[in-house]
Amino acid sequence: MTEAMSDAEANFPPQFRGRTRAPSFSEKSFYLEEFYGKSLLFAMVPPGGDRISDFNSLIRTLRELRRNQTRCIVIVSPAALPKLLKRMGRMAPAAPIPVFDPALGLRSRPYPPDSAVAQIWEGLRAGSIVIASTNDENPADLVVFAQELASRLRVFKLIFVDRQDGLNDRNGHRLSFVEMTRIRRTLAASGSRVRRAIVRAADRALKDGVGSVNLVAPRGVYDELFSFIGSGTLFTEMQYGQVRPISIDDFEEVEALIRRGQDEGFLLHRSPEQIARILPSCFGYRIGDEHLAGICALLTDPYRRERAGEITAMYTLTRFQGEGVAVELVKECVKEAQARMLRYVFACTSEDRAARFFARLGFRRIGPDEVPAAKWRGYDKPRIERLSIFRYELD
């Protein structure tokens, strides 16, 4: 048997993992499926858009979304509008470009007024992409108008495109996602007036029913929407996410994630039949309406006689590592094991970092003879000797 990573190792950074190989499926296909038939609103915050190159990643994104039958609304400043239309070429709408006054009706409701919503819908009926502009260069005005329009339309996603990119924590590390219960802390570290306006706008949009909000630099739009790693900051309403058993409608997505982990060398290789046997006991960590951020399974069928369970097939998307996803998945597996009246659960790993992770959660290091013998069928002895095995008592 060839050497492969244990199932518990996928939540740890690449430098602690094995050799990476090309994935067997497209990350982009995950997100295109999610965006199919939905509406996305992009807001290019000035001075973004004063260079034609600012639109390269956005145009690439719009092409994919148009083929995917996703409705796209793009709001830019007056100075950026001619550059965007030039960069779009034949993809630019043929109809006149609507220009909105952010101050018109700001203190009344509904805002934006019905006339603005009607113009947007007329444009979407004529084609899947609508381009609009504000009538001034004030970035805060554009941010507020874009948020209010996104809220009025209840779009699936609002994307602020800002040259300063996503948010960073106090140590300068990128905040991959921010749930809105941390809004005050985030505002305090947001810097300029415009950045604070964007964070407040994200908060309001989520409260008004917008599915999620992204903040990203112009160069990173494509990666932010179509990759698991992401490029900017994703704002969600919920605190981190929720762990719950996957449904049968999730099986295909979870199977694809397991295959991805296998192809990258992060998970032990399993046949399709073996994967099918662990899917019924898989848990998923989902953030808002986004795709799964992590998965984990509690395998019990092979160990019924011993009333034991194995925590296995743990995989966390790169974007959400270090955010407590793996901890919540393991806790849910332990909770489920208690509900199944198991005596103990166990996990195996060949990485020191993973070993420390389980030790922190109260797992006890044990020898191979302290887990069911069924675990070692098909294992070669040298590989077993390289594993760290952990057990958590439930009695």
pLDDT digits (tens, 9 = 90+) for 63-89: 999 999 999 999 999 999 999 999 999
Distance CA 221, CA 231 (A): 8
Domain assignment present for 1: no
Beta-bridged to residue 215, according to DSSP, are: 160, 233
Find out whether 10 and 260 touch, Cβ atoms under 8 Å.
no
Q: How many domains does the chain have?
A: 2
Of 213, 236, 259, the one marking the end of a domain is: 236
Of 190, 218, 236, the one marking the end of a domain is: 236
Find out whether 127 and 68 touch, Cβ atoms under 8 Å.
no
Question: What integer pLDDT is reported at residue 25 of this predicted model?
Answer: 46
Residues spanned by the domain of 16: 7-24+242-393
Find out whether 179 and 167 touch, Cβ atoms under 8 Å.
no
| 55 pLDDT higher than 60 | yes
Choose between 354 and 140: higher pLDDT.
Answer: 140
Best CA proximity match to 392, nearest among 310, 287, 332 = 310
| 3 pLDDT higher than 60 | no
DSSP structure class, residue 68: T
Pair 227, 295 in one domain: no
**Mean of the pLDDT values across residues 159-174?**
86
102-121 pLDDT, tens per residue? 988 777 778 898 888 999 99
Pair 40, 104 in one domain: yes
Pair 178, 47 in one domain: yes
Of 176, 204, 236, the one marking the end of a domain is: 236
Pair 277, 339 in one domain: yes
Give SS3 for 201: helix
Pair 76, 175 in one domain: yes
Q: CA-CA distances (angstroms) from residue 389 to 311, 371, 392?
A: 11, 9, 10
Pair 169, 36 in one domain: yes
| 208 pLDDT higher than 50 | yes
Which sign, positive or negative, has the C-alpha torsion 279, 254, 270, 362?
negative
Give this prediction's pTM: 0.71
Which CATH number characterizes residue 60's domain?
3.40.1160.10
Best CA proximity match to 193, nearest among 45, 74, 48 = 45
Continuous H helices in the chain: 27-35, 56-67, 81-88, 114-126, 139-153, 183-188, 193-207, 221-226, 251-263, 272-278, 325-339, 352-360, 381-386
Distance CA 241, CA 179 (A): 9
| 13 pLDDT higher than 60 | no
Angle at 325 (CA atoms; ends 338, 21), nearest 5 degrees: 115
